């Protein structure tokens, strides 16, 4: 391959961290200089919008322009936070690698309270995530909410400005940005299941680009790939979008995969979940596990959940 690979990314600090991580890994595994893998910043629909993403189409708003640039040949690979990637993608594209996953837990962040349980009655929590809001509402129906969007720095600044009493961010993003000290409490996944694929970075390429595929392949983490495959299959079985509160987490020990998934009513009044452990050795088995549990949960939830399709 004579030319390098142009890496497409959003322009937020976290997205740029992820793109430069991929750049560094490609240089290390290929033995080529980092300059052979230039980073190109693209603005996505999700970056421009104000208000709830669900009002503008939900998932795909942070990937659409990157995928269009990929299909047109303006970039050669796109780096995504996998929780932002729709479960049904473009026919000509594929996620070719999943990097080793970072901490999937949610981080409770507050300048006033040392832990989630310290929030007083009627506390105001800032969040744009309907999953986090629904899960917290199930635990604490008294909590009030306000919309809090923007990159990590913007949200932390709004918290400092006392726009709200507390917020939630992904532990993974804070750790990658070396802002782990901002975490007031890392919430156990037993208490709050994360969004499907939270903490995972994916690399998307054109299916026809064999040269890129060869360069990307060494970056793939099998354990992360299998877990993300199962979680996204669960999401797909539930026809999940950012309009429905859905959570999932898979853990693979090299042989067995433990999978937990749930769907929550938006007001927290009902939760439907399932858990299973099965032998998994490849992506087909991982997909089948997640999809099967998703179908089971969907059937159990039935008309008790507003699916907003």
Burial class, 19, CB count within 10 angstroms (exposed 0-12 / middle 13-18 / buried 19+):
buried
CA distance 9 to 41: 5
Backbone dihedral angles phi then psi of residue 238, each to the nearest 5 degrees: -95, 5
Looking at the DSSP bridge assignments, the partners of residue 166 are 125
Query: Of how many residues is the chain composed?
Result: 309
Is 251 strand, coil or helix?
strand
Q: Measured at the alpha carbon of residue 227, what is the angle toward residues 222 and 232, in degrees to the nearest 5?
A: 125
Is position 103 annotated as part of the catalytic site? Answer: no
How far from chain centre, in Å, is Cα 87? 12
CA distance 49 to 46: 5
Catalytic residue among 84, 106, 165, 209: 84
Question: Catalytic site residues?
Answer: 84
């Amino acid at each position: 391959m004579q030319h390098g690979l142009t890496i497409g990314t959003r322009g937020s600090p976290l997205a740029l961290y992820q793109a430069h991580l991929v750049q560094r890994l490609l240089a290390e595994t290929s033995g080529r200089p980092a300059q052979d893998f230039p980073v190109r910043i693209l603005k996505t629909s999700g970056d421009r919008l104000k208000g709830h993403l669900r009002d503008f189409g939900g998932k795909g708003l942070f990937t659409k322009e990157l995928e269009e640039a990929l299909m047109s040949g303006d970039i050669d690979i796109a780096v995504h936070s996998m929780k932002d990637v729709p479960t049904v993608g473009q026919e000509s594209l594929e996620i070719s690698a999943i990097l080793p996953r970072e901490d999937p837990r949610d981080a409770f962040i507050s300048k006033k309270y040392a832990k989630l349980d310290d929030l007083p009655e009627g506390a105001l929590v800032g969040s744009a995530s309907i999953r986090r809001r629904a899960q917290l509402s199930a635990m604490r129906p008294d909590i009030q909410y306000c919309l809090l969007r923007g990159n990590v720095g913007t949200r932390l600044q709004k918290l400092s400005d006392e726009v709200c009493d507390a917020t939630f961010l992904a532990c993974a993003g804070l750790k990658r940005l070396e802002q782990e000290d901002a975490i007031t409490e890392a919430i156990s996944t037993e208490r709050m299941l994360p969004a499907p694929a939270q903490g995972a970075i994916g690399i998307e390429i054109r299916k026809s680009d064999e040269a890129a595929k060869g360069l990307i392949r060494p970056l793939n983490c099998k354990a992360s790939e299998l877990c993300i495959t199962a979680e996204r299959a669960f999401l797909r079985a539930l026809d999940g979008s950012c309009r429905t509160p859905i959570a999932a987490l898979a853990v693979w020990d090299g042989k067995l995969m433990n999978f937990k998934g749930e769907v929550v009513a938006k007001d927290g009044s009902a939760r439907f979940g399932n858990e299973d452990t099965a032998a998994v050795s490849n992506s087909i088995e991982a997909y089948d596990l997640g999809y099967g549990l998703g179908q089971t949960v969907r059937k159990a939830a039935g008309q008790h959940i507003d699916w907003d399709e």
